[in-house]
A and B are shown apart, each in its own frame.
Chain A
Amino acid sequence: MGRKARMRIIVGLVAVLALAGGLATAQSSSDYYAGKTVTLILPNSPSGQMTQYARMIAPYIAKHLGAKDVRVQNMQGGGGVVGANYLWHVKPDGMTIAFTSVPALVLAQLSGSQGVEFDATKFVYLGRAATEARVLVVGGKSKIQTIQDVENLGRPFIFPTQGTDEDFYTMAVLAYALNFDLKAVTGYQGNADTTLAVIKGEGDGHITAWHSSLAGIQAGDLRPILTIGDAREAGYPDVPTAVEVTQGNGKELVQAIVNMITMHRSFFGPPGMPEAAVSAMRSAVWAALHDPGLLADAQKQGLIIVPMQGAEEQPKVEQIAAAGQQIVPILKKAVAAIQ
Chain B
Amino acid sequence: MISAAVTGLLALFTPQSILFMIVGVIYGLVIGVLPGLGGIVAMALVLPFTFGFEPAAALALLLGAHAATVWGGSITGILFNVPGAAKTITSVFDGYPMTQRGEGARALGASAMAALLGGVIGAVFLVATIPIVRPLMLALGPSEYFMMALWGLTIIATFSEGSVIKGLIAAGLGILVAFIGMDPVTGTARYTFHSLFLLDGISFPVAMIGLFAVSQMLKLFVKGGTVVEAQVDTEVSTVWDGVRDTFEHWWLVLRSSLLGLWIGVLPGVGASVGGIAAYAQAAQTSKHPERFGHGAVEGVIGPDATLAATEGGGLLPTLAFGIPGGESMAILLAAFINMGITPGPQMLTSNLSLVFTMVWIIVISNILTTVIGLMTSKTLARSATLPARYLVPVVLAVCFMGAFATHGRVGDVVVAAIFGVVGYIMDKYNYSRADFVIGMVLATMIERDLHISLTLYGPTFIFTRPVTLAMFLFIVFTTLLPIVRRRLARARASAAEGSGPDGGAA
Contacts and interface: CB of A to CB of B under 8 A. Distances in A.
A154 B407 CA distance: 46
B407 A302 contact: no
B322 A188 contact: no
A192 B196 contact: no
B196 A81 contact: yes
A77 B338 CA distance: 29
Given A196-B321, A219-B322, A188 B41 contact: no
Contacts of A191: 323-324
B40 A47 contact: yes
A46 B137 CA distance: 31
Nearest to B326: A192
Interface string B269-291: 01000000000000000000000
B94 interface: no
A114 B195 CA distance: 9
A195 B321 contact: yes
B200 A77 contact: yes
A58 B408 CA distance: 20
A231 B77 CA distance: 54
B188 A339 contact: yes
B199 A115 contact: yes
Contacts of B182: 79, 163
Nearest to A75: B408
B463 interface: no
Contacts of B408: 46, 74, 76
B51 A214 contact: no
A164 interface: yes
B138 interface: yes
Given A193-B267, A196-B321, A82 B196 contact: yes
Nearest to A162: B184
Interface string A203-224: 0000000001011101101000
Interface string B473-488: 0000000000000000
Contacts of B172: none
Nearest to A77: B200
Contacts, number: 137
A54 to B, nearest CB: 12
Given A190-B267, A195-B323, A77 B199 contact: yes
B226 to A, nearest CB: 37
A301 B338 contact: yes
Interface string A72-94: 00101111011001000000000
Interface stretch (B19-27, B244-252, B444-452): B444-452
A147 to B, nearest CB: 23
Give the interface size bracket for A toward B.
35 or more
B337 A302 contact: yes
Nearest to B335: A302
A194 B346 CA distance: 21
A339 B186 CA distance: 5
Nearest to B270: A189
A34 interface: no
A68 B331 CA distance: 31
Contact of A185 (B44, B45, B456): B456
A188 B452 contact: yes
B456 A202 contact: yes
Contacts of A47: 40-41, 44-45, 327, 331
Given A185-B455, A192-B326, A219 B345 contact: yes
A192 B141 CA distance: 12
Interface string B316-330: 010001111111010
Nearest to B325: A192
B355 to A, nearest CB: 15
Interface in B20-44: 40-41, 44
B196 A301 contact: no
A58 to B, nearest CB: 13
B326 A186 contact: no
Given A47-B44, A77-B409, A202-B456, A186 B324 contact: no
A27 interface: no
Going nearest first, the 3 A-B pairs with the smallest beta carbon separation are: A215-B322, A215-B344, A47-B44
20 contacts: A47-B41, A78-B196, A114-B192, A115-B199, A163-B185, A186-B184, A187-B447, A187-B449, A189-B267, A189-B268, A190-B267, A191-B323, A202-B142, A202-B456, A215-B346, A216-B322, A221-B321, A300-B52, A302-B334, A335-B187
Interface of A: 45-47, 49, 52, 55, 74, 76-79, 81-82, 85, 114-115, 158, 160, 162-164, 183, 185-193, 195-197, 199-200, 202, 212, 214-216, 218-219, 221, 300-302, 335, 338-339
